[in-house]
Amino acid sequence: AIPLVAQLSTAIGAKKGLLVRSRAALEDARNIQVVLFDKTGTLTEGKQGVANVVAAAGLDGDEVLALAGSVEADSEHPIARAIVAAAGPLEVPRATDFESLSGRGASATVDGRRITVASGRVVTERGLDLPAELEVAGRDASAQGKTVVYVLDDTSVLGLVALADVIRPESAEAVAELQKSGVRVAMLTGDSREVGDWVAAQLGITEVFAEVLPGQKADVVSGLQKDGTRVAMVGDGVNDAPALAQADVGIAIGAGTDVAIESAGIVLASSDPRGVLAAFRLSKATYRKMQ
Ligand code: ADP
Ligand code: MG
């Protein structure tokens, strides 16, 4: 039988915008010691927009953006959607043989050339030379918290696209209140170290796991769980699902993907990260009454 108090708490939670999918998660939420937040789409709105495009010397910015738009036409990633929207007014050639490079970028063939749009990691992995003007522009954009992706062909870096996201207005309070309640707060992202550190600094988070590939997110959670530390993970993306499942309590952003929601015990229906503390409080109130 379901304890009546827990049933009532589920209803109270619903009023506060908390959807309790697993009663075990509601019960465990009172004992959480570390909250690990995903960055994009969780602490930020995840509605990226193209801020600026920089072409390598001798190339044209619109040409670089059009190539990127061709490659990204078949990708669902928020970065891809932003690039496609920005390239909309341009003449965008049709790409073939699209390939998604999980957690890194995307490639496709455009007018007989293999073009890739990807993170700086890929530039390094392929041993490509990063022209000085792009290095400077990339560093400047990252230092302002912008996500930078590079546009490459097989032999060189053609340009970069900088994308701006918006930190959710409720995130700073969510982090501060959790910290005040004695919970350790950390952040996890597939984005670069610079952008990760910038967003974390805006929010008073000092523990940042950056440049984490999708397959490694759950390992970050299990790393934190060593010595029995109880960890809650908060995320929105397909990439976050294994980490949500690995955490002692998985919490999904309501506006997130179905896969994230199905992997979580609690869902923040209003996508407000302050709901994490509300869930912990509801858990404490519920299980105090039952003892
Ligand atoms: P996050 O943790 O922010 O959700 P992802 O794991 O989805 O990040 O992506 C990590 C990084 O890989 C992005 O910051 C970007 O540099 C690159 N990336 C992923 N998908 C794409 C894409 N479709 N186009 C360009 N870059 C991408
Ligand atoms: Mg995300």
pLDDT in tens, 220-274: 999 999 999 999 999 999 999 999 999 999 999 999 999 999 999 999 999 999 9
Please work out whether the CB of residue 117 comes within 6 Å of at least one atom of ligand 1.
yes
Residues known to be catalytic: 38
- Candidates 266, 211, 274; CA nearest to 244 is 266
Please work out whether the CB of residue 69 comes within 6 Å of at least one atom of ligand 1.
no
195 C-alpha vs ligand 1 centroid, how far in Å? 12
Please work out whether the CB of residue 257 comes within 6 Å of at least one atom of ligand 1.
no
Q: What pLDDT digit, counting tens, does each position of 47-93 carry?
A: 999 999 999 999 999 999 999 999 999 898 999 999 999 999 999 99
Spell out the SS3 assignment of the chain: CCCHHHHHHHHHHHHCCEEECCHHHHHHHHHCCEEEEEHHHHHECCCCEEEEEEECCCCCHHHHHHHHHHHHCCCCCHHHHHHHHHHCCCCCCCEEEEEEECCCEEEEEECCEEEEEECHHHHHHCCCCCCHHHHHHHHHHHHCCCEEEEEECCCCEEEEEEEECCECCCHHHHHHHHHHCCCEEEEECCCCHHHHHHHHHHHCCCEEECCCCHHHHHHHHHHHHHHHCCEEEEECCHHHHHHHHHCCEEEEECCCCHHHHHHCCEEECCCCCCHHHHHHHHHHHHHHHHC
Ligand nearest to the CA of 147: 1
Q: What pLDDT digit, counting tens, does each position of 115-155 carry?
A: 999 999 999 999 999 999 999 999 999 999 999 999 999 99
ipTM score here? Answer: 0.95
Q: Given ligand 1 and candidates 37, 100, 119, which is best to mutate, with the most ligand atoms within 8 Å of its CB?
A: 119
Domains of the chain from N-terminus onward:
4-45+168-290 (3.40.50.1000), 49-164 (3.40.1110.10)
Neighbours of 139 (CB within 10 A): 11
Which atom belonging to ligand 1 lies closest to the Cα atom of 190?
2
Please work out whether the CB of residue 119 comes within 6 Å of at least one atom of ligand 1.
yes
Q: Which pTM does this prediction carry?
A: 0.91
